Amino acid sequence: MRDKLNFEEISEGLELPEVKKGPINRQQLVDYASASGDYNKLHYDEGFAKQMGISGCIAHGMLVMSMVGSYISDWAKEGIFKNFKIRFVGMTNENDTLSFTGKVIKKYKENGENFVQIEVISKTQDDRITTTGSAIIAM
């Protein structure tokens, strides 16, 4: 039996516990490049990043979105993703540690199914927002 989150106990405005992940080191950037097939050298070759006018390697936006996805999955347990969107609003640099926060903004029933909508933000250790987004989860 899968762990369950009780839909009845979730309320709009409920905050998800904050979780920190990282630091995102070079090894992880290389691992993500090969796992995703995104081999843009910006993410693991400092010299190339500097040529592009950036001070060092930056994380793939999709790596950060994926980490947000894990953050939501860990909270929503058996919940099934119906929609997941992220805006890349700032760069995540190599060796940044990200903190993830979220909030239930809507809870509703549709065609007999239970849904929650969650808003999420990722921030670096120095409080720069790197992504904002939301997800709709069927419970």
Q: Would you count residue 100 as binding another protein (CB under 8 A)? A: no
Q: Would you count residue 38 as binding another protein (CB under 8 A)? A: yes
Nearer Cβ to another protein, position 18 or 31? 31
Q: Would you count residue 36 as binding another protein (CB under 8 A)? A: yes
Do the beta carbons of residue 26 and residue 41 sit within 8 Å?
Answer: no
Q: Would you count residue 86 as binding another protein (CB under 8 A)? A: yes
**C-alpha distances out from residue 137 to 69, 83, 104, 132, Å:** 11, 7, 10, 17
Do the beta carbons of residue 57 and residue 29 sit within 8 Å?
Answer: yes
DSSP 7: G
Choose, by CB under 8 A, the member of 4, 20, 50, 85 that binds another protein. Answer: 85
| Phi, psi (deg, nearest 5) at residue 121 | -135, 140
Residue ranges binding another protein (CB under 8 A):
1-2, 21, 28, 31-32, 34-38, 40, 52-53, 61-63, 65-67, 69-70, 72-74, 78, 80-88, 133
